[in-house]
Amino acid sequence: MEFAEYIGATAIVISIFLATAVFIWQSSRFDAKIDRLDSRMDRLDSKIEAQGDRLSAEIREQVAGVDARIDRFEARIDRLEAKIEENGKRVSDAELEQARLNGVNSVLVSYIHTHDGGD
């Protein structure tokens, strides 16, 4: 083997080693980038999950407040319905009383006419 062939073969071997070293270095850089991106994604997932939990709690709190207001409105409606029914009954009682008074008045009027004619 001549010197030039030896240098050529050595250059090829050195080039292969250098290419392998560059490839390994590039792989480690990509792995580091992937690890950083993975870490950022984990942090974002945690933030999103925390926001979701917070929003869920706020929504539950709002729903509970709305439910309480609905319950108060339903209670007010029940009281108003009872008042309406009671007022309806009072009107009926008042109408009955008026009818009784009208009857008494008609009897008294006929009684007064009877006594007026007899004098």
Give tens-digit pLDDT for 17-52.
Answer: 999 999 988 888 888 888 899 999 999 999 999 999
Residue 55, pLDDT score = 94
Residue 63 Cα to chain centre, angstroms = 6
Q: Residue 81 pLDDT > 60, yes or no?
A: yes
Residues 94, 99: Cα–Cα separation, whole Å:
9
pTM: 0.45
Q: What is the C-alpha to C-alpha distance for residues 72 and 116, in angstroms, rounded to an integer?
A: 64
Q: Which helix (H) or strand (E) holds 18?
A: helix 3-118
Please report the pLDDT score of residue 63 as a whole number. 95
Which pLDDT band holds residue 92 (cuts at 50, 70, 90)? Answer: confident
